[in-house]
Amino acid sequence: MAKSRHRYSQQYHLERHCFSMNFLPPQQPLLVSSSQLSKLVRAGHFFFGGIRYVLILLLMPCSLFAAQTRDTQAAIVDYFGVGSTYPHLQHTKGFTSVEICFDSTCDFYRFASTTDENVIWDLVFLHQYFVSPAFHIEQFKEKYHSLARNVVARYRRLCSSSTEEQLPICMLRSLAKQHEVSYAFVRYDEGFRCQVVGRIANPKFEGRSSCRKYQSAP
């Protein structure tokens, strides 16, 4: 399917997500006031250590933004974002969940509420890249091949005795067990949200199914 169907720029997605998660306020205030700058000049530090201090403070919001946006999160949001809808975490009592959709079909992931958000995005990325049987997933693999290698390297310690081919599945199973992950395949059709319980590392497994009315299906 044409890539243009979900082409908000990655930068726009990252900024929108960062603001929505309260990483940064929409309006970043000046970090150095005129009076503070004047004091630096009078103290004789402006041309040496002072100017370095000022530049660090001014550039800090950009550094914070880059540090607080996981590379796997950026990839998922960029690829699966459509218009004003993009993947985001939802927090409910005892759980954190995220739903990744392409057209009217979705993958639903639920984690223990104590799960680190970076781990959530990494697991979702690993599942999409190595397990998902979706018709469009080859485009995803082509675009994020290098990132996939980096993510596998992050969790290699979990499966030190596994072969290269076994690593992704082993990692998914280990992370799913550690963070109490449940997974379901979801389809929206004619106002209904229908889901089939699955297994994170086995795309062929189909468990219990259920449907319910849904007012704002994607």
Interacting residues of 8 by C-beta distance below 8 A, sequence separation 6+: 78, 81, 83, 86
Spatial contact of 110 and 127, defined as CB atoms under 8 Å apart: no
Could you count the other beta carbons within 10 Å of the beta carbon of residue 41? Answer: 11
Q: For position 27, what pLDDT does the model report? A: 35
Are the CB atoms for 97 and 111 separated by under 8 Å?
A: yes
Q: Which of the 8 DSSP states describes residue 28?
A: P
> How many helices (H) and strands (E) are present in the chain, helices listed first?
8, 6
Q: One digit per residue, pLDDT tens: the chain, 218 residues?
A: 433 333 333 333 444 444 344 333 333 333 445 555 455 445 554 444 444 443 333 444 444 334 445 899 999 999 999 877 889 999 998 999 999 998 889 999 999 999 999 999 999 999 999 999 999 999 999 999 999 999 999 999 999 889 999 999 999 999 999 999 999 999 998 889 999 999 999 989 999 999 999 876 55
* pLDDT value of residue 180: 96
